[in-house]
């Protein structure tokens, strides 16, 4: 049982925490199988557990190999419809990169990357030995920027970056005309002589002191706090 659980963890079909919970469930319910427990908890299909328990060692030891899609179908990791969908995408080269079956299955979200890698490593290790690069890295490699080795091109790129940086700094250090006008008006209003107000003996409030930090907003219709 522990060997089966370890295989499922390696295949990315079970986590360490789920494995501990499953072991506890089997202790509480010894009449149940691992497939029953994982199926009831919704962590894996019972047919998938049966495949790894009864057929995995046989498929791994067979000298002749079937298509990887057949193994995934046999393990109930993909459906027949998903298999045909992957084959159609591979046939029409939907992504324009001549992707392999496993890469398309991962891109479409039908199979986890760890699960696909497990099948490739154990059933088709020659595909991993063809290159030291991750066999699924091609799905994202086209989006990575390439570094040029041409000195002239490097100088051009450096000049562009310097020009962009200069413009950015100039934009940040020089305020806009609207901000300058608003600041001038604000400063002018604050320098006007303060109004004098008599003290209200009834309220006991010095109106001049109350308005000492205020300024006239009557003519500040376009005052925008968001510009500060």
Read off the pLDDT of residues 156-213 as tens digits, 9 standing for 90 and up.
Answer: 555 555 555 554 444 444 555 555 555 565 555 555 555 444 544 544 444 444 444 4
Rounded alpha-carbon distances, angstroms, from residue 128 to 93, 122, 135, 138, 206: 22, 10, 7, 13, 86
**Residue range 42-71: mean pLDDT, rounded:** 94
Q: How far is CA 140 from the centre of its chain?
A: 13
Q: Residues 84, 22: contact at Cβ < 8 Å? A: no
| pLDDT on residue 96 | 64
**Residue range 121-146: mean pLDDT, rounded:** 59
Percentage with pLDDT > 70 across the chain:
55
Tokens of 66: 């079937």
Rounded alpha-carbon distances, angstroms, from residue 161 to 98, 101, 145, 164, 166: 36, 41, 16, 5, 9
- pTM of the shown model: 0.56
Q: How far apart are CA 150 and CA 144, in angstroms?
A: 18
Query: Count of alpha carbons within 13 Å of 82, Cβ hemisphere only?
Result: 19
Q: How confident is the model at residue 141 (pLDDT cuts 50, 70, 90)?
A: very low
What is the residue-averaged pLDDT of the chain? 74
| pLDDT on residue 152 | 54
Q: What are the DSSP E strand ranges found in the chain?
A: 199-200, 205-206
Tokens of 43: 């962590």
Rounded alpha-carbon distances, angstroms, from residue 121 to 94, 96, 135: 26, 25, 11
Tokens of 122: 């154990």
Residue 200, Ramachandran bin (φ over 0: left; ψ between -120 and 50: alpha; else beta) = beta
Rounded alpha-carbon distances, angstroms, from residue 118 to 6, 11, 125, 127: 12, 5, 10, 12
pLDDT tens digits, 89-119: 988 886 667 889 999 999 999 999 999 999 9
The residue ranking higher by pLDDT, 176 or 36, is: 36
Q: 199 φ, ψ to 5°?
A: -75, 130
| pLDDT on residue 168 | 47
């Amino acid at each position: 049982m522990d060997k089966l659980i370890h295989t499922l963890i390696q295949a990315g079909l079970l986590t360490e925490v789920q494995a501990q919970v499953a072991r506890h469930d089997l202790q509480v319910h010894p009449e149940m199988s691992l497939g029953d427990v994982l199926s009831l908890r919704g962590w894996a299909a019972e047919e998938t557990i049966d495949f790894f328990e009864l057929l995995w060692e046989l498929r791994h030891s067979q000298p002749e190999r079937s298509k990887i899609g057949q193994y995934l179908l046999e393990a109930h990791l993909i459906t027949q419809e998903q298999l045909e969908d992957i084959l159609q995408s591979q046939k029409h080269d939907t992504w324009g990169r001549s992707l392999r079956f496993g890469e398309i299955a991962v891109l479409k979200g039908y199979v986890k990357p760890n699960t696909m890698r497990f099948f490739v490593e154990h059933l088709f290790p020659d595909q991993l030995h063809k290159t030291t690069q991750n066999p699924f890295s091609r799905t994202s490699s086209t989006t990575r920027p390439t570094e040029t080795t041409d000195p002239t091109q490097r100088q051009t790129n450096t000049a562009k970056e310097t020009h962009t940086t200069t413009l950015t700094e100039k934009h940040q250090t020089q305020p806009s005309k609207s901000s300058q006008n608003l600041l001038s008006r604000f400063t002018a209003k604050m320098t006007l002589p303060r109004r004098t107000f008599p003290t209200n003996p009834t309220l006991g409030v010095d109106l001049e002191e109350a308005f000492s930090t205020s300024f006239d907003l009557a003519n500040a219709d376009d005052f925008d706090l968001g510009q500060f």
